[in-house]
Chain A
Amino acid sequence: MAIFNLKKREIDCKIVYYGPGRCGKTTNLEYIYKAFKKQVSGEMVSIKTEGDRTLFFDFLPIGLGKLKGCDVRVQLYTVPGQVQYKSTRKLVLKGVDGVVFVADSLKIRYEKNILSLKDLQQNLKDYDLSIFKIPLVMQYNKRDLAEKNIPLMSIEKMERDLNQQLKVPFFEASAITGQGVGACLKKCLMLTLQSLHKQLKWG
C-alpha cells in the first residue's frame, strides 16, 4: 500500500514488474534508468546471480514531480522470474500498488507466461489483493525478434491466452530497443495513481 504523507504532501507508491524468468523485466528497468534520466531519483540496485538472472530484485526510484499538489515518488521493482524463487517474489510484491506483467513473446515460452500469471494471481491473493482489481498492464515483450525469424506468438494469441478475462491495457514492446517500454510504464502509473486517488481521497 502506498505511503501517503498528508503533512508533507508526499506520496510514495510501488510498481512491480512481474513475469516469467528471462522475459525482460530487468531489461525494462535498465532501459527506464537510461532513457528517463530526468525522472530517476536514485541509483538502480540490481541483485543478480550467475547468468545475469535476478536473485532478489531490481529497484529503481523515480519521481514524477507534483501532481494535484502532491509530490509523487515511485519505486519500481522487478521480481526474480525463476520458478524456484517463489517466496522472494512474494516478499517483493508486498505493498504493491500497480503491476506490469511482462510476457515473453517467444513461442517456446508460451506455458511459462501462463504459469507466471497464475503465480502472480496467487501471490496477490495471499495479500488479499485481486488480480482483477489491482492496476495492471500487460507487456508483450521481445517483439523485435520477429525480424530475426524467431518464432513468436501473435498478439492475438497472447491476448487470448493471457488477457481474455483480465482485459487490461496491453503493449507490444522491446525492452532492448525501448519500444513500448515508456508507454507501458506511463499507463501503469496512470492507472495506479487513479486508483490511489480513489483510495486515499487525495487531491
Chain B
Amino acid sequence: MDIKTQLKSLLQEAEIYRSQGLLDESKNRYNDAVELIQKNAQIKNKQNLLENIQKKINLVNNILSNIGKASTSPQLSSQVQNVIKNKFSFSDDQDSASLEGAIALAKFGQFESALKEFNELVKKKSVQIIAAKNIIRCYNALNLIDEAVVQYEKWLSSGLFPSEHLEKIRFFLENILERKGNKKILPHAPNVKESQDSIGNESYDSRFEDEEFLDISSITISLDKGPLKGKLVEFDVSFQSANIISVIIPEKDKKLIENLVIGATLNNIQFYSPIAIFKGNGVISAKTRIQSGPKKGNYRMDIKVVST
C-alpha cells in the first residue's frame, strides 16, 4: 500500500470509530496517522495535515471528557420510573414486590421516588425493617444523613414499629453514622435497655447491593455432629452486617452452646428473609457470653455466611 492509501484508510477508520463512539480506538488511529506523516519525508503539506488531525483528536478528547462528566443518576421521567418499579419486581406477594420495585428505583438512583415508596412500605409489618433501612440508605446516598436521624426519632414515637424492629434500625443507623465519623448516640426504643451496645462491631455496608438487601430474619441449623446430631434448631437473627449474622443462644441450652464451637462449619443452614428462603453454609466466627443487660448470661454467636 502506498503512503497515501495507508493514510487514507487510517483516517477513515478513525472517523468510523469516532462515529460509533469507540473513542479510544479512534484516537489510536489518529495517532497512528500522525506517526506515519512524521516518519515520511515525501508527504507534502505536512503541517496542514497534522493540524487537521490534531483538531480531530481534540474533538475526540472533548467527547471523552463530556462522557466522564455525565451524571450517572439522572432524574428519570415518571413513565420510566414506572417501568423500573413494575419490571424489576419479581415476587408474587404484593408487599415484597413493592419492596423490590422500590429497591430497584434506589439502585437506579431515583432516591426521591424510592423514599416515597419506602415510606409507604414501613407501614407494612412484613417488610418494614428493610424499608426503614432503605430509607436510611437513600438519605445517606443523598448526603442527608441528618434527615435519617430525624426520621428515626419520628419512628420512635410513631407506634409504627415494635421495639425490636426499632432496635435493629437504630443499630443500622448508628453504624452508618459511625462510619462517617459521627459518634452520635441515638435514643433507644422504649422497653429496651442499653444492653446490646456491645453487639456487632462489624461495620455496616450501606451500598445498594443485592446481597445487602437480603435481610435475614431467622435461620434454622441442622446439626450434623455431636450429641445433638440430627436436631434442627431455629434462631432469630438479632443483627446482620453484610455476610455476618448474629444470633442469641439462650443460657439454658447448654448442650447447644457446647456443640457450636468457633471455627465449626455449619452445612445446610436455612435462611429466611422476607423475600426469599434459601440454603447455604456458614462458619461460626465468634461466640461470646453476654456480660450485661437483659440478655446477660446468654451467648451471642456470629455466623459468617460463606455460600448460599
Q: Taking beta carbons and an 8 Å cutoff, which residues of A are in contact with B?
A: 1, 21-22, 43, 45, 47, 49-53, 55-56, 59, 75, 87-88, 90-91, 94-95, 106, 108-109, 145, 148-151
Contact = CB atoms under 8 A, between A and B. Distances in A.
Given A94-B90, A109-B22, 18 more contacts: A21-B21, A22-B20, A22-B22, A45-B79, A49-B67, A49-B74, A50-B70, A53-B21, A55-B74, A87-B107, A87-B209, A91-B107, A91-B210, A95-B90, A106-B17, A148-B16, A150-B12, A150-B16
Interface in B207-228: 209-210
Q: Is the interface of A mostly helix, strand, loop or mixed?
A: mixed
7 nearest CB pairs, A to B? A50-B70, A50-B67, A49-B70, A108-B25, A22-B21, A51-B67, A50-B66
Contacts of B83: 45, 59
B22 A108 contact: yes
A55 B72 contact: yes
Nearest to B13: A150
B139 interface: no
B21 A90 contact: no
A151 B104 CA distance: 41
B88 interface: yes
B272 interface: no
Given A94-B90, A150-B13, A47 B66 contact: no
Interface of B: 9, 12-13, 16-17, 20-23, 25, 63, 66-67, 69-72, 74, 76, 79-80, 83, 87-88, 90, 104, 107-108, 209-210
Contact of B67 (A53, A106, A108, A145): A53
Contacts of A21: 21
Given A22-B22, A45-B79, A51-B63, A108 B17 contact: yes
B108 A56 contact: yes
Given A53-B21, A148-B12, A47 B76 contact: yes
Contacts of A49: 67, 70-72, 74
Nearest to B17: A108
Contact of B87 (A47, A59, A149): A59
B90 to A, nearest CB: 6
A53 B71 CA distance: 12
B134 to A, nearest CB: 15
Contacts of B87: 59, 75
Most buried by A among B13, B63, B67, B74: B13
A75 B84 CA distance: 13
